[in-house]
Amino acid sequence: MKLSLAMIVRDEERTVGRVLAEAATFCDELVVVDTGSRDETRSIARTQGARIYDFPWLDDFSAARNFSFEQCRSEWIVWLDADDGVEPDVQRRFAALHFESATHDVIYTPYRDALPGDGGDRGVVCYRERVIRRAAGLRWDGIVHEGITTMASRVLVRSDLPIDHHSTSERRERSKQRNLRILAAAVAQGRRTPRTLYHLAGELALQSRHREALDRWEEYLGINTLRWERYAALVHAARSSRAVGDLDRAMAYCRQAVELDTGRAEAYVEIARMHCDAERWREAMPYLRAAAGLAHPGSGFVNPAAYSWLPWQMLAICYSRLGDGPTAQDAARRAAALGAPSSLYSVG
């Protein structure tokens, strides 16, 4: 066997059958680890041909994820969650993969997550360790938002194999409460690792507890050296600062992010947004033009809108407010062509 699916589930009867059916098109075996379902998850998974294992929930995603990998028998393992989706063309690409274990241990692919929020610009793409060579013996680490650490030379990136995260608002709310509880308890117990601090700050920000989030962002920034993650933390810290009305602090975080990486667009857009909020349209425009000229990066956390339609839509608003209607309409058309939500086409 070449490829096993490893899943950890709990009360996923509404979606587990679909995900397993999609995975069955390119996986040789389906392994499902159940952490305490009370609904029909297990019977549905069994109907789809999965092997079912029980594992007690320990408030530790890595523990469950590692156990799921230990049950797999194929040379390679792909993981999915029960609210993920694999489009038909991506299924075909997975099925056609040629695995070369001599050259790499991990295949990174895009993980596309559409977050709730106004304006249509809350989508996030991050490149995740999606397929792992079993014989490499790699282990998951992190109680929440777990990950695998390996040498860059042993990584293959496949941007043509995106996985889509299709979570409901109800599920997201449950996840937020659970993740915050687990991470806060870990930090209170002294587990102040960069990963734990980063994700605790993010969970606090998701619940609009921005002042608490800022404390954790600051602590994280004092110890972390991972460049792309530090960039993301600076942008998040800027957003939390803006949320509490500290615009000077928000601008300082954004400028640090730009100094760290001039090739990423999120900080430029945040700076422009603050200028637009203050109706300083001309000051916003250079940052938007800088963002509009950048290519989508192939690593880290990425807001796809910042590399496509969003700078153009904001430029359209700036030109409109400055009385340049024709240029505003041209920018709006470019935004629309790049996928801006139809509700945002008009610039007034």
Question: For position 84, which CATH number holds?
Answer: 3.90.550.10
Given the structure tokens 């340049």, which residue do they identify?
324
Computed over every residue of the chain, the mean pLDDT equals 93
Q: Are residues 199 and 56 in the same domain?
A: no
Q: Are residues 175 and 318 in the same domain?
A: yes
Nearest-angstrom CA–CA distance, 110 and 187:
29
Q: Are residues 184 and 159 in the same domain?
A: no
Q: Are residues 339 and 231 in the same domain?
A: yes
How many structural domains are present in the chain?
2
Axis-axis angle for helices 169-188, 194-206 (nearest 10) = 140
Q: Are residues 103 and 236 in the same domain?
A: no
CA distances from 228 to 65, 80, 293, 294 (A): 25, 24, 19, 16
pTM exceeds cut of 0.75: yes
Structural domain that includes position 129: 3-165
Axis-axis angle for helices 266-277, 309-321 (nearest 10) = 20
Which of 108, 142, 165 lies at the terminal end of a domain, its last residue?
A: 165
Residue 167 is predicted with a pLDDT of: 84
Q: What is the pLDDT of residues 256-308, one digit of tens each?
A: 999 999 999 999 999 999 999 999 999 999 999 999 999 988 788 899 999 99
Q: What is the pLDDT of residues 107-158, one digit of tens each?
A: 999 999 866 554 555 578 899 999 999 999 999 999 999 999 999 899 999 9
Q: What is the pLDDT of residues 21-54, one digit of tens each?
A: 999 999 999 999 999 999 999 999 999 999 999 9
Q: Are residues 189 and 64 in the same domain?
A: no
DSSP, collapsed to helix, strand or coil, labels residue 348 as coil
Strand partners, 132: 77, 106
Q: Is the separation of the CB atoms in 72 and 4 below 8 Å?
A: yes
Strand partners, 219: none
With a CB cutoff of 8 Å and minimum separation 6, the contacts of 102 are none
Q: What is the pLDDT of residues 235-248, one digit of tens each?
A: 999 999 999 999 99
Q: Are residues 54 and 20 in the same domain?
A: yes
